[in-house]
Amino acid sequence: MPTTKYTNNEQVTAHIAKLPKNIQPAVTYLRELMLAIDDEISEHIKWNSPAFYYSGAMSAFNAKEYKRDILVMNLRKDKIMCVLPTGMVIKNNTEILEGNYTDGRRIIYFRDLDDIQLKAPLLKNAIKEWLALVEK
């Protein structure tokens, strides 16, 4: 019997549908926000979580450097932790970007939907800065 191959978007939609009902609106809003920032931001499931990556042309790089990855959600019971694997390149928006990890990642914590909506302009600016720094 043939198996159905789902698109990345369908996989993310299915993943969100399986989340606890209280967190679905926040994750959906964050998803829509990220995808609306730029046409070259795409989504998929990475590390069993919704994740966003740059889908445009890039210079060659070692895949272990995660240069294409923009943001990976890490869904917790009391917050949404968003990991930006190469977030250290973003110099502005230090109001929401946390951490000083040697591997170059930065983290953004959101409590709930209201917190995401409040910080949405800062998140957009951070992602736009990241996109401006992509090595094409």
pLDDT of 62 higher than 70 = no
pLDDT reported for residue 9: 95
User: Does 90 fall in a domain?
Assistant: yes
Q: How many domains does the chain have?
A: 1
User: Does 2 fall in a domain?
Assistant: no
Q: Provide mean pLDDT across the span 122-134.
A: 92
Alpha carbon of 119 to those of 11, 86, 108: distances in Å? 26, 20, 10
Which CATH number does the domain housing residue 103 bear? 3.90.1150.200
User: Does 55 fall in a domain?
Assistant: yes
Of residues 64 and 56, the one with the higher pLDDT is 56
User: Does 22 fall in a domain?
Assistant: yes
User: Does 3 fall in a domain?
Assistant: no
User: Does 65 fall in a domain?
Assistant: yes
The string of pLDDT tens digits covering residues 16-57 is: 999 999 999 999 999 999 999 999 999 999 999 999 999 987
Q: Provide mean pLDDT across the span 51-80.
A: 83
pLDDT of 69 higher than 70 = yes
Give the structural domain span for 70. 8-132
Q: How many CB atoms lie within 10 A of CB 120?
A: 14
